[in-house]
Amino acid sequence: MTTIRIDESLRSYIDPLTEDEYAALERSLLDEGCRDALVLWGDLLVDGHNRYGICQKHGIAFQTVQNTRFKSMEDVHLWMIDNHLGRRSVSDFQRGVLALRKKEILSERAREEPAVDADASAPPADPGPAFDPSPVASAPAISREALARAARISSNTLGQIEKIRKTAAPELVDAVKSGVISINAAAAVASLPGEQQVAAVAGGKKELRQAARQVRESRLPPKPAPEPLELPPDATPEQIEIAQLKHRVAELTDERDQLKKKVQHLTIALSEARGGQA
């Protein structure tokens, strides 16, 4: 029997299945068996942690295959990222997080590539038969736009997810993962101090929507003070009227621009509300 080793940090590298997803997987394995082989690197389980646990629980037979392309744990992480980005069930937020992890690995690899330690890159003993579902490339760091395309999200969304990862309270991150708040709104709320973020999450969807709207409105440029109307002392009544009309047109133009920006923010908020998100 093949010896399988579980690394808890590797198991938790990808977000766990929801209760419904896990239950659906368990039903499928019970009805159809384990059709997809578990991926190993030596004795280390790389892909199939949930299937392995369910198979062990119910005594379901399974197959294993080896990937001998891995030379380091970074290679394993990159393969896991690309593997999960190819799955349809992964949410946009999860895709963004995975893409940012890939960026961090490739950026670090690009900095350290001239000083690679050959001994540190050796794979574990007895790798077994080769399995290569996707090559592991030693590529340089790639742009945000390329990462976003690979993750099938926009560059702007990826930037918002990056902000959430850096500044959002854990409670706000959980709210995004569960769909209580949208990525766009969460990025806005993440600008607030941590205690205000937590309070908004505790208040539910309505409080989160209000917090996001307030942040967006606070970013609108302040309405400029009206310019004084300067007229020459000998201005005729016609010249005064024309100058006053031009001054009013300038004020109305500025008000129009301000309203257009508010409409944009309200349109975003309305779209999120109709989608059942904050």
pLDDT in tens, 10-68: 999 998 888 999 999 999 999 999 999 999 999 999 999 999 999 999 999 999 999 99
User: What domain range is 60 assigned to?
Assistant: 1-68
pLDDT, tens digit, for every residue of 80-103?
A: 999 999 888 889 999 999 999 999
pLDDT, tens digit, for every residue of 120-171?
A: 444 444 444 444 444 444 455 578 888 899 899 999 999 999 999 999 999 9
Res 27: pLDDT: 96
Q: What is the mean pLDDT of residues 109-119?
A: 63
* 75/115: higher pLDDT: 75
The lowest-confidence range among 102-106, 112-116, 145-149 is 112-116
* Structural domain ending residue among the three candidates 33, 52, 68: 68
Q: What is the band of 249 on the pLDDT scale with cuts at 50, 70, 90?
A: confident
Number of domains in the chain: 2
pLDDT higher than 50, residue 116: no
Is position 147 within any domain? no
The crossing angle, in degrees rounded to 10, of helices 144-151 and 155-167 is 100
Q: What is the band of 270 on the pLDDT scale with cuts at 50, 70, 90?
A: low
Is position 236 within any domain? yes
Is position 223 within any domain? no
Is position 252 within any domain? yes
pLDDT higher than 80, residue 272: no
* Structural domain ending residue among the three candidates 21, 43, 68: 68
* 35/252: higher pLDDT: 35
* DSSP tally for the chain: helices H, then strands E: 12, 3
Residue type (1 letter), 197: Q
Alpha-carbon Rg for the chain, nearest whole angstrom, is 27
Q: Note if the pTM is more than 0.75.
A: no
Question: Helix or strand or coil: residue 199?
Answer: helix
- The sign one gets for the Cα dihedral 126, 132, 137, 142 is negative
Q: What is the edge-to-edge ordering of all strands in the sheet holding 38-41? A: 44-47, 38-41, 64-66
Q: What is the band of 277 on the pLDDT scale with cuts at 50, 70, 90?
A: very low
* Structural domain ending residue among the three candidates 14, 47, 68: 68
Is position 169 within any domain? no
CA dist 163 and 33 (Å) reads 42
Q: What is the DSSP letter of 47?
A: E
CATH classification of the domain holding 62:
3.90.1530
Is position 125 within any domain? no
**Structure-block tokens of residue 110:** 């690009």
Contact 79, 136 (CB under 8 A): yes
Q: What is the DSSP string of 127-184?
A: --S---SS----PPP--HHHHHHHHTS-HHHHHHHHHHHHH--HHHHHHHHTTSS-HH
**Structure-block tokens of residue 78:** 């990159």
Pairing verdict, β 44-47 and 64-66: unpaired
Res 41: pLDDT: 95
Res 135: pLDDT: 46
Is position 58 within any domain? yes
Is position 104 within any domain? no
Res 244: pLDDT: 78
pLDDT, tens digit, for every residue of 184-200?
A: 999 999 999 999 999 99
